[in-house]
Amino acid sequence: MVSARRGAGKLGCLFSLLIAVTVAYFAVNIGEVYWHFYQFEDAMQQQVRFAASRTNDTIVRHLRAKADSLGLPEDAGRVRVRRGRREITIWAEYTEHVELPLFVRELHFTPRADGAL
């Protein structure tokens, strides 16, 4: 015996799939912003590791180039370096704008790296 099938199950599945794709799309947008932050902070850590053989100007120049290559806002290029007798600190501050449904979210980032010379 064969019974008739209703189409309601397929429509519910399609709606769930649409919701999942929408969530994934916005998650990728937000994830990309955080990924760039982590890459920039990693570049700062690398500069800290080699700071004993580099000048502050060289460090700033490298990090500005990295911020530019990542497409970070102009504020990210305002890298600051504080060098003590035995330690170094590198940091910057910038804000990214992420477009979400019905509003724009501003995310403030402060990448920082500290280390011994």
Domain range enclosing 98: 8-116
Burial 4-13 (b: 16+ CB within 10 A, else e): eeeeeeeeee
Residue with tokens 């100007």: 57
Classify residue 29: in a domain, yes or no. yes
Count up the domains in the chain and report the number.
1
pLDDT 10s digits, 39-82: 999 999 999 999 999 999 999 999 999 999 999 999 999 999 99
In a domain, 75, yes or no: yes
pTM metric for this prediction: 0.81
Is residue 13 included in any domain, yes or no? yes
Over the stretch 13-48, which tens digit does the pLDDT of each residue have? 888 888 888 888 878 888 999 999 999 999 999 999
User: Is residue 3, in this structure, part of any structural domain at all?
Assistant: no
Percentage of the chain lying above the pLDDT 90 cut: 67
Q: Is residue 102 part of a domain?
A: yes
Averaged over 8-15, what is the pLDDT? 72
